Amino acid sequence: MNPIELLIQYWPNYLEGLWVTVQLAGVGAILAAFLAPMLAIVRLNGHPVFSIPVRIYVSFIRGTPMLAQLFLIYYGSGQFRPFLQEWGLWSFFREPYNCAMLTFVISSTAYQIEILRGGLMGVPAGEVEAAKAVGMSPVSLYRRVIFPHAYRIAWPALGNEVILLIKASALASVVTIFDLLGETRLIFSKTFDLSAYLWAALLYLALTAVLVWGWRRAEILLSPQFFKSGRT
Amino acid sequence: MFDLFAYGDAGWGDELLAGLGITLQLALLALPLGLLLGFAFSTLSLANSGSLRLVARLYTTTMRGLPEILTLFVIYNGVGVLLNLVMKSIGADPVEFSPMLAGVIALGMVFGAFAAEVLRGAFQSLDPGQTEAAQAIGMTPMQIFTRVKVPQVWRFALPGLGNLWINLLKDTALVSVIALDDLMRMTKVAAGFTKLPFNFYLAACLIYWILCLISEAGLAKMERHANRGVRRAGS
């Protein structure tokens, strides 16, 4: 079978897989984006009782393979089945999709904390002092001065993190999820045709390329003052 | 609970240790291959010829954009299929492509693509005056490369390469999917046998974590050594 025939026969499978990959990486990154800012503040300015656990969490996640984290949650939760059933959580951990999503959120949160920490540290002290001098409350200080600047600094690094998450989401296929790689493995096992992987590779590259492009557009929207000279 | 990890027939300590051995072996074999590819493609990406630069760019963009596990499957299945086609055409019996070799090649190729970018940056930050000075005193290109360029490129590239090494250590876990008996797979065997998956996967995570912490400490030491005698502003 030539590559084109394979694509004609299996394109619905690829699209379904692509959609699952986008969901896993997209929802994972967004949920992590809700958790990370608070924890980044704790990591930087919190009392040691809170900041040290955050540091250990970040170091642990960054120091272990995501596949091991996924297995720890997916297979490891089985060991606590009676307990989880009692709390009504077993129906959550039973589904590989939920476990994969949970792993991606936990992992991406740790990486985003590290990236935001860099961004927060890059905000000039003068801006913070000026905001305090005009009497801003701590909440509006963070909302109006610190985070807007920190996110502009961290934006490119956050884009890298989302790309890493898209790539890492391929691990979901190992726990029987039919994401893009999962569908591809199924197609390969039916056809033994290597072009099955070729199309998957092109789709992953296309997905990354779209993200890079969109991220760059968003960067220009976030900091138009840096791009006024006609350079895009 | 600690007798689970005891050494010998009673516990799984020796099995996990054997798996750790395979993991380290894999990482230490992929590292030189990756560095070699990294040097080769960074040289290509700085070549005068536009088509050579394009080749380097295509390689680094593709390999960095694909999930590592996809690369691993392509190498494992692809080279296996090709190898058997070749064996068939010369009339020999089909052979089994070793997962270890597939793992080393795939991880080395991924490392090489990222390392090429790190090294390109490092080569570009070299002071051209130093190369010119070396030429002026009559050094051969090889001498310039090993005595002037590499020691400095090493210094610039070490932080980036260190991160890649830690990623490589973690990526070795992927080979467990193609049936290589590394730490991850031995953990899976032990978890299935004892019905205590949480304990064993947590132990595996801790082992990887310790490996990474040791690597970080070692890399910090290497960076201090590589930067000896460099004046730092403001300190």
Long-range contacts of A52-57 (CB under 8 A, 24+ apart): A54/A113, A57/A110
Query: How many angstroms separate the CA atoms of B183 and B199, rounded?
Result: 14
Looking at residue B235, what is its pLDDT? Answer: 45
Token look-up 């992929």 returns B30
Q: B197 and A76 in contact by Cβ < 8 A?
A: yes
CB-CB: which of A65, A204, A209 is closest to B208? A65
Q: Which residue of chain A comes nearest to B167, CA vs CA? A: A65
Instruction: Pick out chain B residues at pLDDT < 50.
Output: 235
Which contacts qualify for A212-217: CB closer than 8 Å, 24 or more apart? A212/A159, A212/A163, A215/A155, A215/A156, A215/A159, A215/A162
Domains and CATH numbers, chain A: 3-224 (1.10.3720.10)
Distance CA B186, CA B194 (A): 12
What are the pLDDT digits (tens) for B88-99?
Answer: 888 777 777 788
Cβ-based burial of A63 (10 A; exposed 0-12, middle 13-18, buried ≥19): buried
Distance from CA of B221 to the nearest CA of A (A): 18
Interface size between A and B, measured as CB pairs under 8 A:
116
pLDDT at B1: 60
Q: What pLDDT score was predicted for residue B103?
A: 93
- Predicted confidence at residue A130, as pLDDT, reads 95
- Separation CA A151–CA B71 (nearest Å): 33
Model pLDDT for residues A113-124, shown as the tens digit of each residue: 999 999 999 999
**Using the beta-carbon criterion (under 8 Å), do A201 and B77 form an inter-chain contact?**
no
- pLDDT value of position A230: 53
Under 8 Å between Cβ of A100 and A168: no
A205–B198: do the CB atoms touch at under 8 Å? no
- Identify the segments of chain A with pLDDT beneath 70: 1, 228-232
With beta carbons under 8 A apart, name residues in chain A contacting B74.
194, 197, 201
DSSP state of B2: G
Facing residue for B205 by CB, picked from A69, A77, A167: A69
The residue of chain B nearest to residue A194, with distances taken between CA atoms, is B78
Selecting from B70, B191, B204 the residue whose C-beta is nearest the C-beta of A170 gives B70
Which chain A residues contact residue B106 at CB under 8 A? none
The verdict on ipTM greater than 0.90 is: no
Q: CB–CB of A194 and B78 under 8 A?
A: yes
Residues of A in contact with B198 (CB under 8 A): 72, 75-77, 79-80
Residues of B within 8 A of A197 (CB-CB) are 70, 73-74, 77-78
CB contact under 8 Å between A59 and B213, yes or no, is: yes
- Output the pLDDT for position A5: 86
At B115 the three-state DSSP class reads: helix
CB < 8 Å to A96, chain B: none
Domain boundaries, chain B: 2-226
- Which residue of chain B is at minimal alpha-carbon distance from A165? B67
Question: What percent of chain A lies above the pLDDT cut of 70?
Answer: 97
Indicate which of A1, A60, A79 best probes the interface with B, i.e. most B CBs within 10 Å of its own CB: A79
**Neighbour count for residue A137 (Cβ, 10 Å):** 10
CATH architecture entry for B2-226: Orthogonal Bundle (1.10)
Residue A175 CA to residue A165 CA, distance in Å, equals: 17
Q: Collect all residues of chain A within an 8 Å Cβ-Cβ radius of residue B62.
A: 201, 205
